[in-house]
Structure 1
């Protein structure tokens, strides 16, 4: 299906549409050719955290993951926006010990865990968050670990001209099929560059994980990352999060990863499709509902699985007492 009209996501309060979000979607096959879209495939946006699986490729391809005996949970963390639960922090500390990472090397900055109970526990015990609490700490661990393996000084790894960023631009140029040295860019929330790319290119990038024509080294690295995420979905985000529960409920048939400002990317290995989703106004709630509906349409979630995850796939609006007063849905018609 191809439509120049984006998907419309309605937010209802009672029978009234209180808000309306426009969401662009691009779906590609295993070779990166567009097979479906809604809206504008060339819509320029920043992938943010939605392409962390691609940003983890240097960790594998350089040999750094093998040198430091990283486990699948660590590979999943390299692709994650983790929620700061105790298991995440313990695994990151274990990784740091394996590779000799120091907190002072991280530029991502600390913040309270996104997992509410974990944040409350930290506050109760008057513990200050560390850089490992940062949701991007896994990605930064991967970048620093790769630098150390290659004999590079990781200091300044967030800078555009550092070898770490040159490596990431090369990987993203190869996978998204757009020259990242010529793209406008900004600074992501965690401090490293993020590049403005067409939405279609993000979907093309995700097809790396299913493309049979990739070279053997890239194919092996992609397969390792895909396996880690499929088998350790808790480490890609955490408890009560859409990405983790989708991977768990689908038993790895659907792999998704969200990013800030209403972005999702994903891949359905058995269906041999990959996709990218962007809410034009940056609304994460709209991108999530659009992604859920897309997974149902593409067969990444069965009707039963979709209903079982209704908290995420068919979310309701509640008041402070918990009464249901509305819902979020794809516009009918």
Structure 2
């Protein structure tokens, strides 16, 4: 999928799988094995957020597009994220202690340094998944369910499982526990791409789930800075595509894309879990689909990206393989 060259030598090679799926569920293009079973990790947060909207919880609590973008986010823990999630908690009458995601040092440099200078430790609101968990808390409150909303048998997680299986078109063979303690349901790469294609074609349908999916996609592309943050591939590449495409990264080399104008869903998994390869590969596929400019500065940061040493000398390049570009 992605190769790393130093000088003229191929120094490293990242293998992987990718699928482009249309709105009928059929594979348009694939690399590797489409039936590989994976954990989507955070790439499927928009699926986990579906019950928040379809249940009526989003409407009941007056959630805006910013709330919905944060529900789909793996954010940097910057002030623009934590301030909004904190206000969301206040609106629910909840506190940081009601979260079940665990504390995490923010990836945002200013926020991180601010905590260090103040001799403070991070809270759960700093967790990159706190927006998703605020959504879980909102749904749980709407359902009148108990506080342990990450338990597999909790109504919130059962609703997430139902949405996941409905959009992927497959029964999940099992689940693992994600970094934020929520269940992460396994599926095939084809299933994940099929779910993304469901979101991509949602505007063509009027059923409740499709309307909810369209709202979530709109929220993601309207607020790319909330979905990830400054310096992140999700934010920078969505901005480069001017709202045409929603993309979402996941841990261990997973990436997903929703392309409404073509009614296509994309899912990829890098076998060794390397983020540099998943970012390069998703950029290459989006360029191939014609929705991302290969020469845009944001694209060049991840695809055909120069490798610089500590003196700023260009020593190599990270680039997609010829199979990914032309195969």
Matches for 1:88-103 after TM superposition, within 5 Å: 88-103=81-96
Deviation at 1:308, TM superposition (A): 4.9
Question: Which runs of 5 or more residues in structure 1 are unaligned?
Answer: 1-6
Tell me the distance in 1 between the aligned counterparts of 2:293 and 2:107. Answer: 29
1:254 and 2:256 aligned: no
Q: Of residues 153, 157, 160 in structure 2, which corresponds to 1:165?
A: 157
Question: Alpha carbons of 1:290 and 1:169: their partners in 2 closer, same or farther (altered >3 Å)?
Answer: same
2:224–2:238 CA contact under 8 A, matched in 1: yes
Work out whether residues 23 and 290 of structure 1, in 8 Å CA contact, stay in contact via their aligned partners in 2.
no
Once the two structures are superposed, residues 146-168 of structure 1 have per-residue CA deviations (whole angstroms, 9 ceiling, x without a partner) of: 01011112x22111111111111
* Distance in structure 2 (CA, Å) of the matches to 1:75 and 1:308: 25
Output the CA distance in 2 between the equivalents of 1:150 and 1:279.
37
The structure-2 alpha-carbon separation of the partners of 1:280 and 1:13, relative to structure 1 and needing over 3 Å to count, comes to same
Q: Distance between the aligned counterparts of 1:330 and 1:184, measured in 2?
A: 32
The structure 1 residue matched to 2:277, chosen from 268, 286, 304, is 286
Partner of 2:26: 33
Deviation at residue 66 of structure 1 after TM alignment: 1.3
- Contact 1:254–1:301 (8 Å) recurs in 2: no
Aligned partners of 1:83, 1:285: CA distance in 2, in Å?
17
Contact 2:237/2:298 (8 A) holds in 1: no
- Of residues 188, 194, 209, the one that matches 2:184 is 194
Alpha-carbon distance between aligned partners in 1 of 2:206 and 2:246, rounded to the nearest angstrom: 22
Aligned-residue offset at 1:214: 5.1
Q: CA deviation at 1:240?
A: 0.8
Post-superposition Cα deviations, 1:193-217, rounded to whole Å, max 9, x if no partner, equal: 1122110000001112133575610
How far apart are the structure 1 equivalents of 2:298 and 2:252? Answer: 26
1:163-242 to structure 2, matched below 5 A, reads: 163-180=155-172, 183-211=173-201, 216-242=207-233
Aligned mates of 1:318, 1:44 — CA distance in 2: 36
2:301 to 292, 295, 311: 311
- List per-residue Cα deviations over 1:280-320 (Å, max 9, x = no partner): 11111111111101000001213443x55311222222223
State the alpha-carbon separation in 2 of the partners of residues 295 and 326 from structure 1.
23
Bigger drift between 122-131 and 34-43 goes to: 122-131
The normalised TM-score by structure 1 is 0.93
Question: RMSD over aligned Cα, in angstroms?
Answer: 1.5
Asked whether 1:106 is paired with 2:95, we answer no
